[in-house]
Structure 1
Amino acid sequence: MKNLIGLALLLLCLSACNNKQNTKNEKEIYLFSYFKGNGDGLHLAYSEDGLKWEALFDDSVLLKPEIGKDKLMRDPSIVQDESGTFHMVWTTGWWDLGIGYASSRDLIHWSEQQNIPVMEKFEGTKNSWAPELFYDKKSKTFYIFWASTVPGAFPELPTSESEQGLNHRQYYVTTKDFKTFSDTRLFFEPGFSVIDGAILEKDSLYYLFVKNENSAPAEKNIRVTFHTKPYDFPTEVSAPIIGNYWAEGPAPLLVDDYVYVYFDKYRDRKYGAVRSKDMLHWEDVSDSISFPGGTRHGTAFKVSESILRNLRR
């Protein structure tokens, strides 16, 4: 009997080891989280080459928003931690002082939606827009950063009448467990109204992509800076890395030798992209990509092929 029990345990161990090895050897697939309309909820698309993106679940909503003044789910940002859990943050409303959070093991079943009150201690804050998640594996720390306007905090800039005097800067908190958070601090102040930050780690450097949101005169373009750590980024940014059009929501993704940056060409109501091998010279490949119709500001991330198989089932 002892020999049989020992044999059973050995077989279980070998099976677990093989499963873990198979997961490591699996092909990587790219996923894209996005919303449609004014913020209907979470949508997902997948790609095998970073160019052609196909909607999952017939482009239906996977998770509907339940929190926030406006009960919206805009700008969904998803990262997966080392345990396999997916974490998501999003914009819950146009004039909220917090952001939304939920987690999932399979991108189908989600935890209860929570509000993280990131700007409640900053008196007069107007908004909390486009939160983005970045997981730093070196320090095992999550960085959550977003754009807020705090009246009087920075020199006022000329703004168009439609933007109601908004003058954004990027703020952030850190967490290791999404239960306790650091105090909210200034993340990025480049001297212009800035929104839609996104970080990519490559070759031991951290690249921060942002949208210049100045409106008078209008900029509305994507720029980049880099550092050796995922905070305290130099405030000197590159020239625009996109063409002569308005864009927002940069979503960086490493695909083979290229870094792709996808973005919402919101005035043209379609998606665009640029790519680079050296992070200095950018090629516009907007005509080579395809996204589901109506895709709005999202994030791109890698998953194992088994995750996609489960989603497609």
Structure 2
Amino acid sequence: MKRLLSLLLITYLCCSCSKDVWLFTSFHEPANEGLRMLYSYDGRHWNDLNKTLLKPEIGTQKVMRDPSMVHGKDGTYHLVWTTSWKGDKGFGYASSKDLIHWSEQRLLPVMAHEPTTVNVWAPELFYDDEADRFVIIWASTIPFRFPRGIEDEDNNHRMYYTTTKDFKTFTPTQLFFDPGFSVIDAVIVKRQKNDYVLVLKDNTRPERNLKVAFGKTPLGPFENVSVPFSKKFTEGPSVVKTGDEWLIYFDTYQDKRYDAVRTQDFKTFSDANADILVPQGHKHGTIFKAKKKVLKGLRE
């Protein structure tokens, strides 16, 4: 009870003094209902809006998994997501000015040029402020393209990317990251100019845990892959900076809960679970800031 009262007090104080809120895109299994969202005033203690904001209408399975969102400098929210476990050669895209009214959904066929592509998983948006462009990365399997180790050919992922300035024209798809093992769920983090971190899931057996790599540009090359900072059966990292430290949220899916670690240098990590509160059922999304009036509109 004391911990709950403390969390409520922290939330109230943060709500009173901040002009912005944190939003966390989300979905619930089996992912057919659509986009959900959490909100927070401090980036640590999260509340569920308890509603779906956008129902998936495209793709082979018509699901919305791994929703990733960024807020463009023109005020537009851009959303990408996984539309199917297998079969699609692209991912979903839609945009909105207020997170209530949405554009028509489109399937962006980023792997159409590779006919044997098994899947297109977890597209992740990153705004490259230095080049004024959006970078989109995702995991795909192309059988017999890379050494597979002990993985099946249809489960041997590498990361690919495209860039765009307007979500109408896109650069040709290219290989983004090949660490020599099956990799999914990668997230680009900018610390400062010429200093980027890639948070990733090593999807190989027996690893299936989270690691980091380092690069000088948002397109890499990312090198010096670390040892794991999470235990096995973890995925879907989301990164947010609060104060002088970074929080990395992730899905500990075997235990059916969301966990977090804190770090200042992406080399040493410590457990942050005592300082966070994530509603049950939340799944892989991204964290971004929005004005309080946006949250007010969503709640109403």
CA contact (8 A) 1:190 1:236 kept: no
Q: Does 1:253 align with 2:240?
A: yes
Q: Does 1:293 align with 2:280?
A: yes
RMSD: 1.5
Q: Does 1:49 align with 2:42?
A: yes
For residue 4 of structure 2, what is the aligned residue in structure 1?
none
> How far, CA to CA, are the matches of 2:222 and 2:183 in structure 1?
14
User: Which entry has the higher C-alpha Rg, 1 or 2?
Assistant: 1
- Equivalent residue in structure 2 for 1:82, among 52, 63, 73: 73
> How far, CA to CA, are the matches of 1:225 and 1:122 in structure 2?
27
How far does the alpha carbon of each residue in 1:221-240 deviate from its partner, in whole angstroms, 9 at most, with x for none? 11111222101232331111
> How far, CA to CA, are the matches of 1:138 and 1:268 in structure 2?
40
The amino acid of 1:67's aligned partner reads I
> How far, CA to CA, are the matches of 1:235 and 1:119 in structure 2?
25
- Equivalent residue in structure 1 for 2:202, among 184, 191, 212: 212
Alignment of 1:150-169 (within 5 A): 150-159=142-151, 165-169=154-158
> How far, CA to CA, are the matches of 2:18 and 2:221 in structure 1?
35
Alignment of 1:147-186 (within 5 A): 147-159=139-151, 165-186=154-175
CA contact (8 A) 1:52 1:291 kept: yes
For residue 229 of structure 1, what is the aligned residue in structure 2?
217
- Equivalent residue in structure 1 for 2:271, among 284, 307, 310: 284
TM-score by length of 1: 0.86
The amino acid of 1:64's aligned partner reads K
> How far, CA to CA, are the matches of 2:99 and 2:251 in structure 1?
23
Deviation at 1:145, TM superposition (A): 0.7
Deviation at 1:26, TM superposition (A): 6.2
Q: Secondary structure at the match of 2:286?
A: strand
CA contact (8 A) 1:35 1:74 kept: yes
Deviation at 1:165, TM superposition (A): 4.0
TM-score by length of 2: 0.90
Deviation at 1:164, TM superposition (A): 6.8
> How far, CA to CA, are the matches of 1:164 and 1:273 in structure 2?
32
Is there any run of 5+ residues in structure 1 with no aligned partner, and where? 1-24
> How far, CA to CA, are the matches of 1:274 and 1:108 in structure 2?
32
Deviation at 1:246, TM superposition (A): 1.6
> How far, CA to CA, are the matches of 1:187 and 1:235 in structure 2?
12
Alignment of 1:40-119 (within 5 A): 40=32, 41-56=34-49, 59-95=50-86, 96-119=88-111
For residue 131 of structure 1, what is the aligned residue in structure 2?
123
Q: Secondary structure at the match of 1:297?
A: coil
CA contact (8 A) 1:26 1:304 kept: no
The amino acid of 2:83's aligned partner reads T
**Would you say how many aligned residue pairs link Structure 1 and Structure 2?**
281
> How far, CA to CA, are the matches of 2:82 and 2:209 in structure 1?
21
CA contact (8 A) 1:147 1:196 kept: yes
> How far, CA to CA, are the matches of 1:165 and 1:175 in structure 2?
29
> How far, CA to CA, are the matches of 2:270 and 2:251 in structure 1?
17
CA contact (8 A) 2:209 2:234 kept: yes
Deviation at 1:71, TM superposition (A): 0.3
The amino acid of 1:306's aligned partner reads K
> How far, CA to CA, are the matches of 1:164 and 1:234 in structure 2?
24
Q: Secondary structure at the match of 2:294?
A: helix
CA contact (8 A) 2:118 2:154 kept: no
The amino acid of 2:185's aligned partner reads D
CA contact (8 A) 1:188 1:235 kept: no
How far does the alpha carbon of each residue in 1:242-282 deviate from its partner, in whole angstroms, 9 at most, with x for none? 2x342101101111111111111111111011111222211
> How far, CA to CA, are the matches of 1:199 and 1:301 in structure 2?
13
Deviation at 1:61, TM superposition (A): 1.2
State the percentage of identical aligned residues.
47
